Amino acid sequence: MHGKLNILIVSSEMYPYAKVGGLGDVVSSLPATLKKFGHDVRVVIPRYGSIDIEKSAASVRLESMGVWMGNMEEWCAVFETKSPADVPVYMIEHTHYFDREGLYHDNAMNDYDDNPRRFAFFTRAALQLCKDIGFKPDIVHANDWQTALAPAYLKVWHWNDPVLGGAASLLTIHNVAYQGIYSKEHYDYIGLGWQNFNPEALETYGQVNFLKGGIHFADVVTAVSPTFSKEITSAHGGFGLAPYLSNKGENLMGILNGIDYETWDPSKDPNLPAHFSSKNMKGKRDCKAHLQKSFDLNVDENVALIGAIGRFVDQKGFNLIAEAIEGILNDMHVQFVILGSGESGLQEYFGNLPVRYSGRAGSYIGFDAQRAHLIEAGCDFFLMPSLFEPCGLNQMYSMRYGTLPVVRATGGLEDTVLQYNEATGEGTGFKFSEPNAWALYYTVGLAVATYYDRPAHIKKMKKMAMSMDFSWEKSANKYVEAYNKAIAHKRITDKHSRYYW
């Protein structure tokens, strides 16, 4: 339908400026690829206190910008820079809202009470910026609950605006469990009209629900994998939003995230002590030895080495790992390395594991990018037993590095990992369905048995895994299809409905 598109991406995270999870990586890589395709793509993020303006080479674009909220006018400044891929990035500066120790919560993991105001303001400011700099988007791409009100603001406030009136909207759900549900006392400030505070749009049991409102108003909703898009329309997978997502019909799409093959390339990764490829795997053995030394494990190239990286939370399955890991270590000839942080009980448990299993288990509490790359490269298997996983990136990084994933068959893990076939030796990993420690234990057992008893199969699987294509080019093309679908949908619905005050 369209050739070149004007695309505004509004997000609470973008690597390398501000990142908590996979959202930051997506909002870095997708615009870079869209720009390569010839589209005019711009990204707007908050200017958090943690962002160093000098290091990010940002300069003032607007010294003062007025943003009208529902019951008051706010003022902010706007900085502009270019991402490493030369994509324009605008940062909304509002010291009271964004100059804090964390993006969403304080260091004690307590959510900020004014999060609904912070992100409603940010979303409105991103749209106001378009008007003030004269950027006329064909599509506004919102991400997760933090910016989910963008489609609502477009339809309620800007339907006849000369700059924003023609913009269609797309909302990407990266994690449906976080919906932005807050007291309705904030609703006058949010300013979307009380007629829209109803169970079909913005209201959930007397509270305002950002994500639900975004789903209602968006022209197209995307989820970050095909299986996840199906799961969120089921009673258990939608966290209460399944009926509203089902109502989107063909305007709910699943698009798998890609990975950045420049950053994640074992043949030239600067974080590794040695490089390797599917044609020459010697460097992987060197990485394994280096990993074992750095985690105080016994250096042994023949032992099955299993890694896990992530947030120590229930969703990521680290409770299942904690239940199963000692049985695995006691019953199987394996080593474990674990990197991550999260719930204090799990941090203490995994932090103490090396004391009880000296030379066989290593852990690092916190996050370290170099260690993460080394784990991906040096391990034989990578464990991801997520209870639900919208897309997941680590399993794709692992395959790129010839490390076979052991995963629960959910969301993007189901879509990206090909189950091992014991008869042919084909596959890229090992999957299980039941979310319990026994299923995890027995699937690790199958992987380890294959490692020792069928080494030719492991070699074949590693080559197959490393040949998989999870590049952003494929995913970005799907997003362009979704953008055009949203534009077409807006044209049809504009003839039949308006969202007046």
Q: What is the dihedral of CA 11, 15, 18, 23, to 10 degrees?
A: 50
Q: Which of 458, 459, 305 is nearest to 377 (CA)?
A: 305
Question: Quick one: 253 and 303 in the same domain?
Answer: no
pLDDT digits (tens, 9 = 90+) for 185-218: 999 999 999 999 999 999 999 999 999 999 999 9
Residue 64 phi, psi (nearest 5)? -150, 125
Same domain membership, residue 51 and residue 31: yes
- Residue 345 shares a structural domain with residue 228: no
* Position 1 pLDDT exceeds 50: no
Distance CA 294, CA 316 (A): 25
pLDDT at 442 over 80: yes
- Asked whether residue 53 falls in the same domain as residue 186, the answer is yes
Q: What is the separation of C-alpha 11 from the centre of its chain, rounded to a whole number of angstroms?
A: 11
pTM: 0.91
Supply the pLDDT for residue 476: 97
* Same domain, yes or no: 297 and 379: yes
Ramachandran quadrant class, 232 (left: phi over 0; alpha: psi -120 to 50; beta: rest): alpha
With respect to residue 23, please indicate whether it lies within any of the assigned structural domains. yes
Domain ranges, residue 54: 6-258+473-494
257-269 burial by CB neighbour count: b if 16+ within 10 A, else e?
bbbbeebbebeeb
How far apart are the C-alpha atoms of 318 and 310, rounded to whole Å? 8
pLDDT classification of 494: cutoffs 50, 70, 90: confident
pLDDT of 500 above 80: no
Are 323 and 242 in the same domain?
no
Give the tens place of pLDDT for each residue, 292-346: 999 999 999 999 999 999 989 888 999 999 999 999 999 999 999 999 998 999 9
**Total domains present in the chain:** 2
**36 and 155 fall within a common domain:** yes
The CATH number assigned to the domain holding 438 equals: 3.40.50.2000
Residue ranges with strand state E in 389-491: 404-408, 430-432
pLDDT at 501 over 50: no
Rounded to an integer, the average pLDDT of 53-64 is 96
Predicted confidence at residue 2, as pLDDT, reads 53
Are residues 237 and 319 both part of a single domain? no
Amino acid at the residue 348: E
Q: Residue 42 to residues 98, 197, 361, 393, 404: CA-CA distances in angstroms?
A: 21, 31, 45, 24, 36
Q: Is the pLDDT of residue 431 over 60?
A: yes
Domain for residue 143, yes or no?
yes
Which phi and psi angles does 442 have, rounded to 5°?
-70, -30
The verdict on 461 and 477 lying in the same domain is no
pLDDT in tens, 348-394: 999 999 999 999 999 999 989 899 999 999 999 999 999 999 999 99
Whether 270 is in a domain gets the answer: no
Nearest to 444 by CA among 470, 420, 475, 474: 420
Say yes or no: 344 and 230 in one domain: no
Could you tell me if residue 263 is inside a domain?
Answer: no
Across the chain, what does the average pLDDT equal? 95
pLDDT higher than threshold 90 for residue 235 = no
- Answer yes or no: do 347 and 399 share one domain: yes
| 287 and 149 assigned to the same domain | no
pLDDT tens digits, one per residue of 135-147: 999 999 999 999 9
